[in-house]
Amino acid sequence: MAAGPRAASGDGATDLGCGRLSAAWEVLSQVLDPEVPAVSLVELGIVRDLVETADGVEVVLTPTYSGCPATEAIEQQVREALARFGTVTVTMRRAPAWTTDWISDEGREKLRRYGIAPPGPVDAAQGVPIRLVRREKPLACPRCGSTHTEKLSAFGSTACKALHRCLDCREPFEHFKPL
């Protein structure tokens, strides 16, 4: 599993020992993704860094997709959640691009409980899920656990998910696409 967002800071500016930043991280960990309200922005790895500024905080976000329609809603949620910390500056950092490897283990479990099959790790060299490179068993149904599943559509309710169906319990489910 990749390091969590707090450890992923590119410049090391985040001081997690600071009570104010720790409190801000705690607030951010309660901000739910508007499209998948079972998981927080922190658990999804969208929040990349949090830095204290002279008059407030700067939050660095990396959207799941550059054209994600929820980006503006996410930014607004972050601003509202952190308003008590002073001026909130939101910086969108699109490089490096968000990857499903940034989803925390807790986030993956919450996706599964919500009925979305979480992605596995991606083979960076080939850009495909490791389970396919290694010819591992098919995607498991998040409801019954069966691997007797099929893909119905490359797109689910959002561009970041695909639609699948379990052939045993007959329930449809979405799969968070590995990126």
Per-residue pLDDT of the chain (179 residues; tens, 9 = 90+): 333 344 333 333 344 345 889 999 999 999 999 999 999 999 999 999 999 999 999 999 999 887 888 999 999 999 999 999 999 999 999 898 888 888 999 999 999 999 998 877 655 555 554 444 444 557 889 999 999 999 999 888 888 888 999 999 999 999 887 76
Measured in residues, the chain has a length of 179
123 assigned to some structural domain: yes
Give the C-alpha separation, 115 to 174, whole Å. Answer: 7
On whether the pTM is more than 0.75, the answer is: no
107 assigned to some structural domain: no
Q: Is-cis flag, bond preceding 96, omega within 30? A: yes
- 95 and 33 in a single domain? The answer is yes
- 10 and 56 in a single domain? The answer is yes
Residue 6 contacts residue 16 (beta carbons within 8 Å): yes
Counting Cα atoms < 13 Å in the Cβ hemisphere of 102 gives: 23
- 11 and 88 in a single domain? The answer is yes
Give the C-alpha separation, 92 to 16, whole Å. Answer: 21
- 57 and 144 in a single domain? The answer is no
- 12 and 84 in a single domain? The answer is yes
Count of structural domains, the chain: 2
pLDDT at 25: 96
pLDDT at 3: 36
pLDDT at 19: 86
Domain carrying residue 143: 115-176
pLDDT at 28: 97
- 123 and 82 in a single domain? The answer is no
